[in-house]
Amino acid sequence: MKKTRLEAFSDGVFAIVITLLVLELKPEGGGSGWQMFLHIWPKLVVYALSFVLVGLYWVAHHNMLHFVEKTDRGFLWLNLLLLMVVAFIPYPTALLGATHADESSIWIYGVTLALTNIVGTGLWYYAARKRRLVSAGLSEEFVRFVYKLHLGPVLIYGVAMAMAPLWRPGSLVLIALVPLFYILPNPFLEKRIAPIAALQRGEG
């Protein structure tokens, strides 16, 4: 399968997942519109959180694929596994909303997010190991940097899950820091992702 085809299909799934999240938000609880709005405020918070996280996964997927030059059967199916985990995100999002983010919902949400990052790392491992599907000229340093970018959040998700029994809002804030780290200007990141940034400016 041509890379562009696989990218277009993946982009389609990301776009659908990110848009389907709103279907969890329904008029419920009765009363005026404002009362119904307040009634579902936990769902509104997790809607925004999941939207930004799926957006981040889309950007990360796009950036990774930029360095992949060709695809094969294994890559195709690992990519479908990644899409399966991403397409699953609306369910733990709904759990979080339905239980006002109880402990175990945070765990299920955290495990889903961690799985997304782990499968993403596996995809990069598959493509970059022995430069199977990426440019032979890619530096070992850059390959390792991508691993760190994808595995770093798993640590954060782990801490957030460990913190859930103690302080649940803190868990969600910690999870929300992951996309913020990538979204906000960030000297640590800037220095290392010059090539990615160049791509994002449309120069790549």
Residues 172-201 that bind a copy of itself (CB under 8 A): 183, 197, 199-201
What single string gives the DSSP state of each residue in 26-40?
---SSSSHHHHHHHT
Residue 163 is encoded by which pair of tokens? Answer: 């913190």
Site string for a copy of itself, 102-121 (x = CB under 8 A): xxxxxxx-------------
What is the Cα–Cα distance from 100 to 165, expressed in whole angstroms?
A: 14
Answer for which of 46, 57, 58, 150 binds a copy of itself (CB under 8 A) is 58
Overall residue count recorded for the chain in this entry? 204
Residue type, 12: G
Site string for a copy of itself, 130-169 (x = CB under 8 A): ----------------------------------------
Candidate ranges 48-56, 113-121, 151-159, 168-176; the one touching a copy of itself (CB under 8 A): 48-56
At its nearest, how many Å lie between a copy of itself and the CB of residue 12? 4
Site string for a copy of itself, 75-104 (x = CB under 8 A): -xx--x--xx--xx-xx--xxxxxx--xxx
At its nearest, how many Å lie between a copy of itself and the CB of residue 39? 11
Nearer to a copy of itself, 3 or 192 (CB): 3
Task: Give the CA distances from residue 123 to residues 72, 102, 115, in Å, rounded to whole numbers and listed in that order.
Answer: 12, 32, 12
Task: Give the CA distances from residue 183 to residues 8, 101, 163, in Å, rounded to whole numbers and listed in that order.
Answer: 24, 24, 24
Q: How many helices (H) and strands (E) does the chain have?
A: 10, 0
